[in-house]
Amino acid sequence: MRSVPLHSLAGLRLEGKRVAFTSPSLYASRLQRLLLQEGAITLSCPSIFVEATPQNREALQNCLCRSSPLPFSGIAFTSRAGIKAVAEVLSRLFAEEDNGNPSASRVLEDGFFVSALGRDAELLLELDMFGASRECVRVIVPSIATPQAMVEEIGDGYGRRILCPVPHVEGLEEPPVVPEFLEALAARGWQPYRLDAYSTRWAGAECARPLLPLGKLDALIFTSTAEVEGFLKSLRALGITRIRTAGKPILAAHGPVTATGAARLGIEINVVSKDFSSFDGIMDELELYWRSSSKH
């Protein structure tokens, strides 16, 4: 006998809702899958591109190889893109080491740690990032999926170095979250080493056009502040001055960091996921919003 999820017996939570999102491709597939499972009609419209450039890869390789003069006690990942960029370079270095190049990758000693936010930590295991050295690596996942919570969970640095793979932002203003994260680490006695591991760039003046008119959407989801800025920049280029008309679309943010960034850019967010360790929290909050609205 085939089992049926309980929510399917009561109807899909977002059935028939037209929900758009501005996430880059690295994140869009996960969000889209969840939305489709809940019955939403999805529209993917990235307002930023996230990718590792040859320059980013070269900088990572120089930093992570054994000959690097900068020893680190740990790595603090604030995004999946950073994890993937580092994993790609480490995989190549480990392969070179296996092929007889002993200077390729750095041996990790006991006590080395990595920290990641929410479900991003699962990617560390999926990518088998540290190969044979994995048993030496301690994984730290803060109970709240924010950079500031990560700093508290990591604790005091006592002058040790910590590698911070972050984005190089092109065509957009860098959100304050990364500088504030690095400052918070320094305040706890760490020597944070900022490394531009990948690039975040604006998707261009036309990126918002597929979603016009915006009033046809039931909801628009932002998963980062850079997405909000990129989307607004496109709207301005297209001569659009209002993001909402007659209460549509509902504007949703993946977590308070994104909501705060949107507010800084003059955008009032209607729905903020409380459980922002994964995109499931967005589904919960959208359902709650529409259920509450239907009662009035």
What is the tens place of the pLDDT at every residue in 254-291?
999 999 999 999 999 999 998 888 899 999 999 999 99
**What is residue 67's predicted lDDT score, i.e. its pLDDT?**
64
pLDDT in tens, 61-77: 888 876 665 578 999 99
Residue 92's domain is classified under what CATH number?
A: 3.40.50.10090
Mean pLDDT within 249-257: 95
| CA gyration radius, the chain | 21
- Final residue of a structural domain among 155, 171, 202: 202
Do 188 and 225 share a domain, yes or no?
no
How many whole angstroms separate alpha carbon 226 and alpha carbon 261? 8
Nearest to 235 by CA among 205, 264, 215, 269: 205
pLDDT in tens, 215-246: 999 999 999 999 999 999 999 999 999 999 88
How many whole angstroms separate alpha carbon 285 and alpha carbon 77? 26
- Final residue of a structural domain among 152, 170, 202: 202
**What is residue 97's predicted lDDT score, i.e. its pLDDT?**
65
Read off the tokens for 203.
């998707």
Q: What is the extent of the structural domain holding 55?
A: 51-202
Do 238 and 198 share a domain, yes or no?
no
pLDDT in tens, 107-121: 456 678 999 999 899
pLDDT in tens, 4-52: 344 443 468 999 999 999 999 988 999 999 999 999 999 999 999 999 9
Instruction: Assess contact for 151 and 107: CB atoms under 8 A.
Output: no
**What is residue 3's predicted lDDT score, i.e. its pLDDT?**
34
